[in-house]
Amino acid sequence: MCQAIEQSTISSVVRDSAFPYIEGAHVLALSLSIGTVMWFDLRLLGAAMRTRPVWEVFEDVKPWMFAGFGIMFSTGALLFAAHATKAYSNGYFQAKLALLMLAGVNAAVYHLTIDRRRSEWGKAPIPPGPARVVGLVSLLLWFSVIAVGRIFAYSL
């Protein structure tokens, strides 16, 4: 399957002429998406924007976060297509995907459990322990995704 992806026309175009531009867009989108996630995580930790309700912070960063994620995932798919065989077998790439899935699970845990009781604690300067744990885990996971992603980029 990876060989078929690599032999596609779009993969050839990316690999032969567009790779540096797509990689640049990927890194810029990462800054946008993860940067806004980190602001929200810092609010969950009670380390920033303590006077603003949690939901207000989330509503402010959400459009930027989702725009960044959309660009990041689409450019990441194009970058993968350019070197699918090498990427698929690369341990750093596999670690990056695993960390991305864990970050998604962490976000789902927050939104499906802790966030449902936000009306009880959303205005508190310091959120309750479970919200702070999710924020800290999110920060650690995203720092790890970025670190492993950069190592992966230089290991191809």
Could you tell me the residue ranges of all domains in the chain?
A: 2-155
Res 53: pLDDT? 97
pLDDT at 34 over 90: yes
Res 52: pLDDT? 97
pLDDT at 11 over 90: yes
In the predicted model, what is the mean pLDDT of the chain? 97
pLDDT at 110 over 90: yes
Mean pLDDT of 99-121: 97
Is residue 87 within 8 Å of 76, Cβ to Cβ?
Answer: no
pLDDT band (50, 70, 90) for residue 57: very high
pLDDT band (50, 70, 90) for residue 20: very high
Q: What percent of the chain has pLDDT over 70?
A: 100
**How far apart are alpha carbons 8 and 15 in whole angstroms?**
11
pLDDT at 156 over 90: no
pLDDT at 103 over 90: yes
Mean pLDDT of 103-131: 96
Residue 56, CB-side half-sphere exposure with 13 Å CA sphere: 9
pTM check: above 0.75: yes
Mean pLDDT of 92-98: 98
127: left (phi over 0), alpha (psi -120 to 50) or beta: beta
**Closest CA relative to residue 45, chosen from 147, 146, 144, 137:** 137
pLDDT at 88 over 90: yes
Res 144: pLDDT? 98
Res 67: pLDDT? 97
- Would you give the end-to-end CA distance of the chain in angstroms? 19
